[in-house]
């Protein structure tokens, strides 16, 4: 899968992909799961299942690797993701506001 194909697949999946793009990376720890579930509106296990098509090919949108006994998911290329997805981020909309509130709340915790 090329970047163009991966990002074309995002059409209609913005409520899943854009929160993950904004987060950049996450692990299976409870705090990350809670935030992703809130932002994406799905259970964590469903989110991981739904992004599997975006983790295939030479140029996937997301990659997964094991480190220190845990699993980390993150954007394969932040630069490429920005090139294709920045125009889908609308500052001030409901998703953006939820993301900012999650970041601010977690920063204070």
pTM equals 0.83
Strands across the sheet with 70-75, in order?
25-27, 70-75, 62-67
Q: What is the pLDDT of residue 81?
A: 84
pLDDT band at 105 (very low <50, low <70, confident <90, very high): confident
- Topology of the domain comprising 3-108: Arc Repressor Mutant, subunit A (1.10.10)
How far apart (Å, rounded) are the C-alpha atoms in residues 103 and 24?
A: 13
Across the strands, what pairs with 73? 26, 64
Per-residue pLDDT of 10-69, as tens digits, reads 777 888 999 999 999 999 999 899 999 999 999 999 999 999 988 988 888 899 999 888
Contact assessment for residue 101 and residue 39, using Cβ atoms and an 8 Å cutoff = no
pLDDT band at 109 (very low <50, low <70, confident <90, very high): very low
82-89 average pLDDT score: 84
């Amino acid at each position: 899968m090329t970047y163009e194909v991966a990002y074309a697949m995002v059409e209609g999946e913005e409520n899943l992909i854009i929160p993950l793009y904004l987060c950049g990376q996450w692990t299976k720890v409870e705090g990350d799961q809670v935030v992703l579930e809130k932002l994406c509106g799905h259970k964590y296990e469903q989110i991981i299942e739904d992004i599997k098509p975006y983790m295939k090919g030479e140029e996937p949108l997301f990659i997964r690797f094991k480190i220190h006994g845990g699993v980390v998911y993150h954007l394969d290329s932040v630069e490429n993701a920005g090139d294709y997805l920045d125009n889908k981020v609308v500052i001030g909309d409901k998703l953006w506001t939820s993301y900012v509130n999650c970041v601010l709340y977690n920063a204070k915790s």
